[in-house]
Structure 1
Amino acid sequence: MSPRRPAVNEELRRRSRERLLQATVELVDERGFEGTTLGDIAERAGSARGLVSYYFPGKRQLVQSAVHRLMHLTLAAALERPPQPQDGRERMARAIDAVLGLSQDHPVLMRHHMAGILQADGFIQCAEQQRLAYLLHDTVARWGSPDPDTEYPMLRAQLMGAVFALLLPGVPMPLDRLRGELFRRYGLDWHLGVPPEGVLPSDGLPARAAHQR
């Protein structure tokens, strides 16, 4: 038996799983959670229906993993965009803008993701979530937190709360207000990251945090 075969099989499984995750993002964006079946996802991914159940115990778990993959890819692209940030504050600003931007670019998907987290199954610890967590933890450390292990879950909670507020049906919070509050907490000037076009801070001044490092 060729010693390379296990590595080849592992790569095929990885690609198959990623196709399912990408198909989930596309279909939930188009049809919503209820309007998307596991069969639809398998068909869009060009995979056998049984593979969905092989990789994921259910649709909610699949959607959470798909969103975490999307968040990881979006965040990684923002952090690697030239010129790559050398300053920890620019890195933090890009991370915040990348996550908030998903609520604008994928509102249907992100709304169902937030609703799924509040279900009995709660927050899914998957490989995609762990990759996302690594990037956010590293961002907190480079920003200059003296205790990244404590600050990382706080950043995660702040971002989740902001996304929820942006997507709340009927009474969504404005993006500039939420962005400004997060930038104040982390000591970031409004011009860092990717500021919303044509929008200034609500107080007309650069956002600053109360504490200084």
Structure 2
Amino acid sequence: MRRRSRERLLEAAAELFGERGYEATTLGDIAERAGAARGLVSYYFPGKRQLLQSAVHRRMHLTLAAALEREPAPCADAAGGRELLARAIDAILGLAARRPVLMRAHMAHLLQQEGFVQCAEQQRLAALLRETMVRYGAADPDTDYRMLRALLMGAVVAVLLPGAPMPGHRLRAELFARYGLEWELGCPPGGEPPGGVLMSSGEGAHP
């Protein structure tokens, strides 16, 4: 019951932060959306910033897990770990595109002095990214998953940058080139990659 109560609060927080933004959402609003007592929010979370990060990390690891567990397309069977890495990249970029208000608030708070909130949701996300790099064949998964996380964070910031956003398909192309991933892996946005050239599996910086 405690786990379900906490999950309801996290889901309500993700919904409201994504609808109204961080400043316009109160802890009372979140408790009401979750159908919980206001005091329960403070019982589980020290403050609104911690709740935001936990809610977004939960949304990220659920989105990533769903992408990694999806049945592979016939053309992806032989790609193995490259397909999983492509799905991971597309899952995070896709979340930024679908939930810009939520992800912009999250990134803004990560860049504040307090930085990451170490919570169970963040640890689950880290474990999924690390396992993806293991399956991809990374020589040093502990270091390489952190690099992947940093590159994904940079791409999300670029997609969401007010006034000067980068097109998601261009960022996807850069990340795919870095890891030697074929454009058709994962969930391609449609059509040919920028420049009209598909990479072969031997191109890029495969470890």
Length-normalised TM-score, structure 1: 0.91
1:201 aligns with 2:193: yes
Residue 154 of structure 1 is aligned with which of 124, 136, 147?
147
Residue 55 of structure 2 is aligned with which of 54, 60, 66?
66
Residue 76 of structure 1 is aligned with which of 53, 56, 65?
65
Q: How many residues align?
A: 201
Determine the structure 2 residue equivalent to 1:9: none
CA contact (8 A) 2:14 2:55 kept: yes
1:207 to partner: Cα distance: 3.7
Which runs of 5 or more structure 1 residues have no equivalent in the other structure? 1-11
Residue 33 of structure 2 is aligned with which of 36, 44, 49?
44
Determine the structure 2 residue equivalent to 1:211: 205
- After superposition, give the CA deviation of every residue in 1:178-204 in whole Å (9 maximum; x if it has no partner): 000000111100000000134x32221
Runs of 4+ in 1 over 2 A off after TM superposition: 83-86, 207-213
User: What is the CA RMSD across the aligned residues, in angstroms?
Assistant: 1.4
CA contact (8 A) 2:179 2:206 kept: no
Determine the structure 1 residue equivalent to 2:171: 178
Identical residues among aligned pairs (%): 69
1:212 to partner: Cα distance: 4.2
Larger Rg: 1
Determine the structure 2 residue equivalent to 1:16: 5
Which runs of 5 or more structure 2 residues have no equivalent in the other structure? none
- After superposition, give the CA deviation of every residue in 1:69-120 in whole Å (9 maximum; x if it has no partner): 0000000000111138760000000000000001111000000000010112
CA contact (8 A) 1:201 1:207 kept: no
Q: Secondary structure at the match of 2:139?
A: coil
Letter in 2 for 1:156: R
CA contact (8 A) 2:181 2:204 kept: no
Letter in 2 for 1:205: V
Residue 123 of structure 1 is aligned with which of 116, 139, 146?
116
Q: Secondary structure at the match of 2:112?
A: coil
